[in-house]
Amino acid sequence: MSLPLPVYDLVGVGFGPSNLALAIALTEHNESADEPVTAHFLERQPCFGWHRGMLIEDATMQVSFLKDLATMRNPTSGFSFLAYLHAKDRLVDFINHKNLFPLRIEFHDYFEWAAAKVDDLVSYDQTVTAVEPVTGADGTVVHFDVRTRTAAGEEAVFRARNLAVGTGLRPNLPDGVTVSDRIWHNSELLHRVRDIDEDTASRFVVIGAGQSAAEVTAFLHERFPRAEVCSVFARYGYSPSDDSAFANRIFDPEAVDAFYEAPERMKRRLMDYHGNTNYSAVDLDLIDELYRRMYREKVRGAQRLRMFNMSRPVELAETADGVRATIESLTNGERTVLEADVAVYSTGYLPADPTALLGALAGYCRRDEFDRLRVTRDYRLDTGPEVTGGIYLQGGTEHSHGITSSLLSNTAIRVGEILDSVLDRRAAANRLPEYAASGTLTP
């Protein structure tokens, strides 16, 4: 006879920065709680990792270090970036650096440091294969069973009263484009580039107009000093990101309330008005650096950095030793054929749709008139009353909560709101004796 499964108050699917921040919030809450929140997080990677393929050595964060995993929720947190610097004996050095935006590799090291402090709450090498409803005697869904499989094929089940789905983003590629040895998405840049011979590489094609595309262009141009780097984008030039003080308020916690309460037409306007704070926009310093490089090469009469603006790739074919990219001008239709070693698509990311993961539970989730998942203000999927637990989304809520949904800017505040919701709903459930006596659970 098998023992009954332990029931966690919360199981987190995925352990990127968002669910790491939630684990930190839970840990800090439990330090003084009379009734701790039990939680466990599941991550398919063998260890913590965040966009490792784009940890370019000199790339910096586009968000202030104060918008770390905890500070905006708890300025005295021992999990803050400043606490990390103190632990690493670099606090004075960082202060003298006079910079709000750390290196990306340093912020990743901060994430790893924080993850190590809560490693008792996470199981790595756990690919979630299914989420199944667990019903009580009256047919209500009282628990969720999260099924996992390791790389070695070992299976496990984690039972939860609530879920926090933080499965991150997936690379966005144009229709018909698939990654290969010679066609990459920028998310794999550093993993792939080490296989390219610096002495024989002759040309790279980079498609995209945003920050990642500009970073990839600059990186390849510097890494391969004898190769040509061709940047292809539909705009006339790289557009600078708007990081001015008033525009940046779109990332404030109060802006989430304003966006959530706004009518649909105003939501769309806000996304259009302030999309250049995040989407297809490049730091001005990087734009200036790329322009300096291109101008310097023109002066020298040996141009390796080429900009195909107002253009698009219309055909991409793999060859015996690379790719053949056909680039079409959007102004006159003229086509240029480029024989290249590699084509890199820096075309952004899309939020992962949770419905496939949720399986039968997706049928309990309500949708709006645009067939989008309805999400309550506390980031919980709007389900029918027969589902007693909460399914919280860490990402994929731009349509309801605005630009900050997939960004670090509001992460610390968001996880605090999710934790408060879990606590409030637990307190409400404890006041209902019929909930405690819901009957034998049957998966």
The tens digit of pLDDT for each residue in 394-443 reads 999 999 999 988 789 999 999 999 999 999 999 988 876 544 444 333 33
Which CATH code fits 7-168+352-436? Answer: 3.50.50.60
370 HSE (CA, 13 A, CB side) = 7
Return the closest-CA partner of residue 256 out of 385, 368, 418.
Answer: 418
Provide the pLDDT for residue 433: 54
Return the closest-CA partner of residue 51 out of 170, 151, 148.
Answer: 170
Provide the pLDDT for residue 432: 66
Provide the pLDDT for residue 81: 98
Which pTM does this prediction carry? Answer: 0.94
Number of Cβ within 10 Å of residue 6's Cβ equals 9
Domain residue spans of the chain: 7-168+352-436, 172-241+279-348, 247-277
The DSSP code sequence of 52-69 is: GGG--TT-B-SS-TTSSS
Which residues touch 389 (CB under 8 Å, ≥6 apart)? 141, 142, 143, 144, 160, 161, 162, 163
What are all long-range contacts of 383-388, with beta carbons under 8 Å and residues at least 24 apart? 386/139, 386/140, 386/141, 387/133, 387/140, 387/141, 387/361, 388/140, 388/141, 388/142, 388/161, 388/429, 388/435
Provide the pLDDT for residue 437: 43
**Which tokens go with 205?**
């094609």
Ramachandran angles phi, psi of 272, nearest 5°: -70, -45
Q: Within the chain, which residues score under 70 in pLDDT? A: 1-3, 432-443
Exposed/middle/buried for 237, CB within 10 Å: 0-12, 13-18, 19+? middle
Q: Which fold has domain 172-241+279-348?
A: FAD/NAD(P)-binding domain (3.50.50)
CB crowding 129-157: b at 16 or more within 10 Å, else e: eebbbbbbeeebbbbbbbbbbeeeeeeee
Provide the pLDDT for residue 280: 83
